[in-house]
Structures are given as C-alpha cells and as structure tokens.
Amino acid sequence: MASIRPRIGVEYAEKATIVTFTDEKILEEKDIQALGESIMSVVEQAERLNLILDFCNVSFLSSAVLGLLIRVSKKVYERDGQLRLCNIDPKIHEIFKITRLNKIFDICRDVEDATESLAAAH
C-alpha cells in the first residue's frame, strides 16, 4: 500500500501547534483531500488551538489548497483559536496577494515570528 501523501509534521510547542508541510508540491486533488483530513484532525483535537502552518518545504501548490486553507481557518476560528501561516515561498505569497488572501490570513516570516504574533494576540 502506498504511503499517504502529502505528509505533514506536527509539533506541539508550548504556545502553539505547528503543522509543517513536508512535500514540495501540493497539486493532486487526492493529496489535498488527505492533507485536509490530517489538518482537520489536529484542529478537532483541541479547543482554542493556536495553529501555525509552516510552508518551509512548499514551492508549488494548486488553487484547491487555498480553498482548504480557508476551510481550516474557519474551523480554527469556530473553535476560538488562532491561525498563522509562515515561511511562504515568494511565488506563492504573490498568489495570496493577487487573491487578496493576504488580507484574510496572518502571514508571518517564520515560525518564531508566528509564535510571537500568537503570544501578542493573547
């Protein structure tokens, strides 16, 4: 049986849960669906979750991932949590600007900035 892709790493830090995408490309619908299930299971495990999505390994993603991010964001905020995105490739960041999603998401330079941003929001 093939391994489920895309893979994520989950780290439970003191002030936040950090989900790191481990694949360089997130393009296939089945991969995006599996990714959504993985992230949603992390979100549903905690009330008031401070979630950081780390894109340090990602250099390509499909527009369907943007829809997934919006769904994740909605779920996090419904549970009275906070969400930060970080380490976004400049080409991908440009897509966030074009679609105005940079106005919806709090995008930080790196995990450290994202953690500080969450701490400041409390």
Q: Quick one: how many helices (H) and strands (E) in the chain?
A: 4, 7
Q: Is 1 helix (H, G, I), strand (E, B) or coil?
A: coil
Tell whether 1 is covered by a domain. no
Compute the distance between CA of residue 92 and CA of residue 54 in angstroms, rounded to an integer.
Answer: 13
Compute the distance between CA of residue 101 and CA of residue 105 in angstroms, rounded to an integer.
Answer: 6
pTM of the model: 0.93
Query: Could you give the number of structural domains in the chain?
Result: 1
Tokens 């989900």: give the residue. 19
Q: Is 110 helix (H, G, I), strand (E, B) or coil?
A: coil
Tell whether 122 is covered by a domain. no
Domain of 55, in residue numbers: 8-117
Compute the distance between CA of residue 30 and CA of residue 122 in angstroms, rounded to an integer.
Answer: 36
Specify whether the CB–CB gap between 26 and 6 falls below 8 A: yes
Q: pLDDT digits over 3-62, tens only?
A: 555 589 999 998 899 999 999 999 999 999 999 999 999 999 888 899 999 999 999 999
Tell whether 2 is covered by a domain. no
Tell whether 81 is covered by a domain. yes
